[in-house]
Amino acid sequence: MSGAGAKLGVGTHFRLDGETVEVVDFAILATGMEVILKDGRSRLARMSVRELLTSDRAELIHDRTGPSSSDSEDLAAVVLNRLTKHEKKEVLERAEHVREMVTGYRSGSEHLARPDEPRPQYAPTLPLKARYEACE
């Protein structure tokens, strides 16, 4: 099987024994996890996740574009990992500011609000345009 590192979930497509199948569900059994597959004629079949991922009978069909080892640009995680401690701190502060502008909370969640949040100029009740103007 090709496509190591791809997400396996409901909606993932494979070519299995020459037929296109789609993952429609998962089953957890005493013997391990299995996928429920549906073919083009809406027939269902069960197969162990291990067999699906290691068998030469199955090949992942890339439905979406995404990062690839042949990309000319680095992934964001690679770029961020190269930053100095000071640069990482600056990026985290900017991310907090963006989350505060969008949600009213630097963490992005009212459940993790700091004592001074939401600050009046970033209150979630204000229109986003007003919050944006407050940070200019």
Report if residue 8 sits inside a domain.
no
Handedness of CA 96, 99, 100, 104 (dihedral sign): negative
Where on the phi/psi map is residue 9: left (φ > 0), alpha (ψ -120 to 50), or beta?
Answer: beta
Report if residue 6 sits inside a domain.
no
pLDDT digits (tens, 9 = 90+) for 97-111: 998 888 888 898 888
Long-range contacts of 20-23 (CB under 8 A, 24+ apart): 20/61, 21/45
- Residue 57 and residue 20 share a domain: yes
- Residue 125 and residue 95 share a domain: yes
Strand ranges, E, within 6-136? 13-16, 19-29, 32-39, 44-48, 58-61
**What's the structural domain count of the chain?**
2
CB 62 within 8 A of CB 3: yes
- Residue 88 and residue 54 share a domain: no
Reference 35, options 19, 57, 13, 56; nearest CA is 13
Residue whose tokens read 């890339």: 62
Report if residue 130 sits inside a domain.
yes
Q: Which pLDDT belongs to residue 40?
A: 85
- Residue 130 and residue 81 share a domain: yes
Report if residue 31 sits inside a domain.
yes
pLDDT digits (tens, 9 = 90+) for 4-57: 566 788 888 899 998 999 999 998 888 889 999 998 888 899 999 999 988 889
Q: Which pLDDT belongs to residue 1?
A: 45
- If DSSP codes are grouped into helix, strand and coil, which group holds residue 119? coil
Range of 32's domain?
13-61
Helices (H), the chain: 49-54, 76-81, 85-103, 128-134
pLDDT digits (tens, 9 = 90+) for 56-93: 898 888 765 666 666 667 667 778 888 899 999 999 99
pTM over 0.85: no
Report if residue 71 sits inside a domain.
no
